[in-house]
Each structure stands twice: as structure tokens, then as C-alpha cells.
Amino acid sequence: MYKYSLDNKRYHTLNYHYFSIFNSKVSKISLNGGFTCPNRDGKVAVGGCIYCSKDASGDYAGNVNDDIKDQFENIKKIIDKKWNTNKYIAYFQAGTNTYADINKLKDLYEKALSIPNVVGLSIATRPDSIEDNVLEYLIEINKRTYLTIELGLQTIHEKTSQLINRGHDLKCFIDCVNKLRKHNINVVVHIINGLPYETKDMMIDTVKFLNTMDIQGIKIHMLHVLKNTELEKMYNKEKFKILSLKEYVSIVCDQLEYLKDNIVIHRITGDPKEEDLIEPLWLTKKFSVLNEIDKEMEIRGTYQGFNKTILNRFDLIINKLLKNNDIVVDATIGNGKDTLKLANIVTKGFVFGFDIQKEALKNTKKLLKDNNITNYKLFNISHEYIFNKLMNYENKISLIIFNLGYLPNGDKSIITNHITTLKAIDESIKLLNNKGSILIIVYPHKEGKKEGRLIKKKYKCKTFRNTDNINAPYLIEIKK
């Protein structure tokens, strides 16, 4: 099970997060403090963000005409029927919840904090709407309660941001996050998938960017086209593309694979009121969206943070491919880490290993011995002679791995090179059985670049990358 989930999810759930802090389930109670928004009242703009509902994104919050304590009690009654908990976070949801006179803020927040069993405060706001005196007050509250500021970003792309009339740019968001983090205040960022004219890559880029920021959580929404919004008018006129459920699921799963695993997922789909929704209609079935995401992650075998290292893909492939009685080869044993990994899978099979350095054999033997591995044989010879050594295993080997480059912590002048690597791959193919694969980790230093380029040119293969960084190692798979 994924380490940051209590219920078989493959991402860092809010439930897990609250449990880890409060040792119990915690429910969020959505409140309406009667806030407006600087993007509506003319301070920044009028009209607001083009997708925003008349309730200013507080559709499930309490009744604005009720006192905060009454709102809290009314919603708590409903929540308590669903969940067995006695810890709550008061969530100021509707409008821009730091956009008011400091005395009004103090009155509302303190009222909420004085309610029994309220263990924290979540405040949804805009990155352009935390004045210095408000920040000072937030810093003070943060010392005595569990405070989270939820910031709307929606997208990192300025063109989209202007199209949806956000009224602030990316820099404003970055400055605000830095300001809050300087005082250790938790930041949760809201983003929207499916904004008009955004491509899948653009949506993934938003998440890749957020990975570079010090944020603690994220809410991922699907764009709602709601009745009586500017977005509805735009949609009727331009009929921009609305993501299908399948597309949304695929994008979210890609985003999760990129997202750092310490970032808590507060939300992973939208939850619009059915009577207000124009598109997409599949959004009304919240649980089926959540299930589809779970299913897709399971089919992929991936999880949040999967793309942190290419070795996760390497592990996924070998774990899917190998049975415990398979015969496998580590063509570059080095310090033996991969040899051990293979041996731990093929417990009833056999592992062969090759390396030109005596030191590599010595290190690997020790590691295998320390782990009680006996089903192996190592050759102190170049892998270009692999067929010569293993000809009795023609068509019998399930996996041959090459971890190219130099021995970690060893002599950096002894590295694999394109001539012997290509010869070894040629020879290896003959050894593979029908399901067999060759997996090659390529390090793009000078010689590695050449090896990678020539392998890709010569063989029908699949390349896996976990990052846009062209200097990062990547994986090549060649199938028989």
C-alpha cells in the first residue's frame, strides 16, 4: 500500500495527513463569512474569474445570513451523520477570505477558533489579497492553531490566466507563497484542469512548476461550466473543448506521477451542484471520477511521485515482467545493487553478472553473500562476450539489464562505451526468450549521449524519461 494513504489510494491523501497530525479523522466545515472578492468589487477588476459561481465558489458553505457559530453547528450536524469524528477544521471558503477589514477578520476567525473541537483554520484566498497587517495576524494565529492558507492559482500560463480574468500573474502567486512560507504557514494551491485552450502538456507543466515551490498541498479541480457565468457565454460562443472523463483521469494521473509525494492531495475532482452545471456532466458522479483515477493508477502501477527517479519505472517494468523462476543477466554489475534486486525477484531462477572490474565482482559477491543469495554466477569479462559465455541459454533469458556509465564511487575513467555496448546488445537479443526484454539505463554524459543515440537508431525500442531535464538518466527498453 502507498505509504501516505490509509485507504488504498496511490496518492498522499488528506485523511492520511490529518491522521498523522491529529491522530484521528478531521472534518472540514465550510463557512461563509460574507466576503466579496477584489476581482468582483472593482479593486482588481469587476466580473470576477469567468468560471466562478454566483456564490463565489462557496456553494457548499454555510448560510451567509447565519452567525459563524450557527453555520458551523448546522453543517457539523450533517457531517456528523456521515463521519465519526470530533475534530474539525473551520474552512472559510466563499469569496476571498482575507479581503476585509482586519477587525472583521479577527472577529470571524476568533469566533471559529473558539468553537469546541475546532483544531485548525483553513482560509481560501487570492495571492493578491493578503495585506501586511493581515499577514501579521496570520503569523500570530499560526503559532496557536493549525493554519492553512488556500491560494487560487489555477494555471501558471499567463495567457490562460488573462483569458479567465484571474487579475494577478504568476509572480504575484510566487511572492505570496514565499511570504507565507517565510513564516511557516501551510500553503495549499488550487489548480484547474481543462481551462479553455489549455493542452495536456500545459496542465502538467502547472504541476511541474508547483513541484519547484515550497507548498504543502494541492486541490486539483476540473473546470465546471456553470449557468450564468461568463464562461457559459464563452462556451456557447466558442465551444472550446471540454475534457472527457477519460482525458481528465489520464491528465490527473500524469500530474500525480510528477507531483512530489510530500504534497497532500486535498481534492482531485470538482463537486459542482447538478442544477448549475452545463458541462461536463460526468462531473456530477464524483465517486466514479475518484474510482476511475484509482483504477487508472492501479493499471499503470504508478503512484504520486513516481517520476521522482527513472529507477521507479525500471522497478515497475522488472516487477511486471519477471517470475520467480526466470533466468536474468546483469550486464554491468558495478557494486551489485541491481544484481541483488534481480536476485530477490528470481528466487527460484538464476542471475548471471558481468563486469570488467575485479573490484565490481568483489563488491557484488560481498553484497550477495550478506543477503544470503546463492543462485548466481559472475563473470569478470566484458559484456560483449555475453553470448559466448551464455550460449547454452539461447532463447531462455527473460531480462538483461545494462546500467551504463561508471562504477559509483569507483574509477570514473572506466566506463561503458558505445562499441562494446552495441555489440553486447546485439549478442543479448539472441539470448532473450519470447517475453524477454533488455533494459538499459543511459547517463547522458559525453559517451552516454552517444550510446543512447546509437541504441535508439539501431533498435526498435521504447524510451522512458521521468523529467524534461535532458541531462538526467533515462531508460531504454528493447523487446525481443
Ligand X SMILES: C[S@@+](CC[C@H](N)C(=O)[O-])C[C@H]1O[C@@H](n2cnc3c(N)ncnc32)[C@H](O)[C@@H]1O
Q: Quick one: the chain helix, strand, coil %, rounded to 5?
A: 40, 20, 40
Q: Which stretch binds ligand X (CB under 6 A): 10-18, 159-167, 217-225, 327-335?
A: 327-335
Q: Which of 89, 442 has the CB closer to ligand X?
A: 442
Q: Does 416 bind ligand X (CB under 6 A)?
A: yes
Q: Does 30 bind ligand X (CB under 6 A)?
A: no
| Helix ranges restricted to H, 88-244 | 102-114, 132-144, 158-163, 170-182, 200-211, 230-238
**Which of 128, 338, 427, 451 touches ligand X by CB under 6 A?**
338
Q: Which of 202, 422 has the CB closer to ligand X?
A: 422
**DSSP per position, 43-57:** SS-BS-STT--TTTT
Q: Which of 111, 418 has the CB closer to ligand X?
A: 418
Q: Does 452 bind ligand X (CB under 6 A)?
A: no
Nearest to 17 by CA among 303, 264, 187, 294: 264
Q: Does 405 bind ligand X (CB under 6 A)?
A: yes
Q: Which of 55, 359 has the CB closer to ligand X?
A: 359
Q: CB of residue 308 vs ligand X: minimum separation in angstroms?
A: 18
SS3 352: strand
The H or E element spanning position 71 is helix 68-82
> Which residue number places its CB atom closest to ligand X?
334
Residues in contact with ligand X, total (CB under 6 A)? 24
Q: Is 100 left (phi over 0), alpha (psi -120 to 50) or beta?
A: beta
Q: CB of residue 402 vs ligand X: minimum separation in angstroms?
A: 8
Q: Does 286 bind ligand X (CB under 6 A)?
A: no
Q: Which of 29, 415 has the CB closer to ligand X?
A: 415
Q: CB of residue 449 vs ligand X: minimum separation in angstroms?
A: 15
SS3 85: coil
Q: x/- string (CB under 6 A) for ligand X, residues 368-397?
A: --------------xxx-------------
What is the rounded CA–CA span in Å between residue 21 and residue 17? 6
What is the rounded CA–CA span in Å between residue 351 and residue 339? 7
For 275, phi and psi rounded to 5 degrees?
-70, -20
Q: Does 311 bind ligand X (CB under 6 A)?
A: no
What is the rounded CA–CA span in Å between residue 456 and residue 449? 11
Distances in Å between the alpha carbon of 455 and those of 217, 329, 414, 460?
41, 19, 20, 9
Q: CB of residue 372 vs ligand X: minimum separation in angstroms?
A: 18
**Which of 360, 361, 442, 478 touches ligand X by CB under 6 A?**
360
Q: Which stretch binds ligand X (CB under 6 A): 89-97, 180-188, 231-239, 354-362?
A: 354-362
Which set of grid coordinates corresponds to residue 294?
A: 484509482
**Which of 172, 356, 454, 461 touches ligand X by CB under 6 A?**
356
Q: Does 334 bind ligand X (CB under 6 A)?
A: yes
Q: CB of residue 405 vs ligand X: minimum separation in angstroms?
A: 4
**Which of 141, 407, 439, 455 touches ligand X by CB under 6 A?**
407
Is residue 335 a contact partner of residue 408, using CB atoms and an 8 Å limit? yes
Q: CB of residue 451 vs ligand X: minimum separation in angstroms?
A: 11
Q: Does 414 bind ligand X (CB under 6 A)?
A: yes
Spatial neighbors of 403 by CB under 8 A, at least 6 apart, are: 330, 332, 334, 338, 441
Q: Does 335 bind ligand X (CB under 6 A)?
A: yes
Q: Does 354 bind ligand X (CB under 6 A)?
A: yes
**Which of 86, 216, 250, 420 touches ligand X by CB under 6 A?**
420
Q: Which residue is it, cell 454555510?
A: 62
Angle at 92 between CA 5 and CA 280, to 5 degrees: 65
Q: CB of residue 300 vs ligand X: minimum separation in angstroms?
A: 25
Q: CB of residue 435 vs ligand X: minimum separation in angstroms?
A: 23
Tell me whether strands 225-226 and 217-222 are parallel, antiparallel or unpaired.
Answer: unpaired
Q: Does 196 bind ligand X (CB under 6 A)?
A: no
Tell me whether strands 327-330 and 376-379 are parallel, antiparallel or unpaired.
Answer: unpaired
Which set of grid coordinates corresponds to residue 425?
A: 546488445
Q: Does 351 bind ligand X (CB under 6 A)?
A: no
Exposure of 128 in the CB half-sphere (CA atoms within 13 A): 14
Q: Which of 72, 406 has the CB closer to ligand X?
A: 406
> What does DSSP assign to residue 27?
E
Residues lying near ligand X in the complex (CB under 6 A): 332-338, 354-357, 360, 382-384, 403, 405-408, 414-416, 420
